[in-house]
Amino acid sequence: MNSDKVKAGVQRAPHRSLLRACGLKDDDFEKPFIGIANSYTDIVPGHIHLRELVEYVKEGIRAAGGIPFEFDTMAICDGIAMNHDGMKYSLASREIVVSTVESMTMGHCFDGLVMIPSCDKVVPGMLMAAARLDVPSIFVTGGPMEPGKYNDKNADLITVFEAVGELSSGKITEEELYELECCACPGAGSCSGL
């Protein structure tokens, strides 16, 4: 196992000592170490529910005889970063995601990975990391955001962006824009801006 580089032999006693501080027991050192790259954050709707998914993934890894180790990556919401200086950081964040997954995997010698991404910079970032690493990897995405309803029609983030233009041209009122804003993105998942 690749993880033997950090857990096997007398020279790895210091490594095992640190891993024991994380709760590992003797028999855990015979099992594969599986990294879980989680892009959870509570400011991005596409990622707010990923903590729940991680718990199921951990259960599955344990049931299959592995030891799960979760680590986080960053996630920037293009929709929130749009139309101000924050947008300069969105694409660059993809490279940080790649580097984070690669660094954590190489630094801790994971035998496999489960990637839990969402949205359009994090998914490709994790895919790029998987390609670089050539480590067995599984992806569990956060899935799409369900559309909201406005005037008995589906509404989503794109609908809100379009409505800003409609307000500028006098086709709708500020009150109508506000009503749409409040219902177009009803919960977790990748938005339609993707």
On whether the CB atoms of residues 95 and 89 are closer than 8 A, the answer is no
In this model, does residue 194 exceed pLDDT 90? no
**Which tens digits make up the pLDDT trace of 49-65?**
999 999 999 999 999 99
**Which tens digits make up the pLDDT trace of 5-45?**
999 999 999 999 999 999 999 999 999 999 999 999 999 99
Q: Which pLDDT score, from 0 to 100, does residue 66 have?
A: 99
| String of DSSP letters for 37-99 | EE---SS-TTTTTHHHHHHHHHHHHHHTT-EEEEEE-----HHHHTTSTTHHHHHHHHHHHHH
pLDDT band with cut points at 50, 70 and 90 for residue 191: confident
Q: Which pLDDT score, from 0 to 100, does residue 125 have?
A: 97
Query: Mean pLDDT throughout 60-71?
Result: 98
On whether the CB atoms of residues 66 and 112 are closer than 8 A, the answer is yes
Domains, the chain, ranges and CATH? 31-139 (3.40.50.2300), 148-183 (no CATH)
Cα–Cα distance for residue pair 76/193, rounded to 1 Å: 13
The answer, as to whether pTM is greater than 0.75, is yes
pLDDT band with cut points at 50, 70 and 90 for residue 47: very high
Residue 128 tokens read as 């790029």
**Which tens digits make up the pLDDT trace of 76-91?**
999 999 889 999 999 9
pLDDT band with cut points at 50, 70 and 90 for residue 192: confident
**Which tens digits make up the pLDDT trace of 103-116?**
999 999 999 999 99
Query: Mean pLDDT throughout 147-165?
Result: 95
Query: Mean pLDDT throughout 153-161?
Result: 95
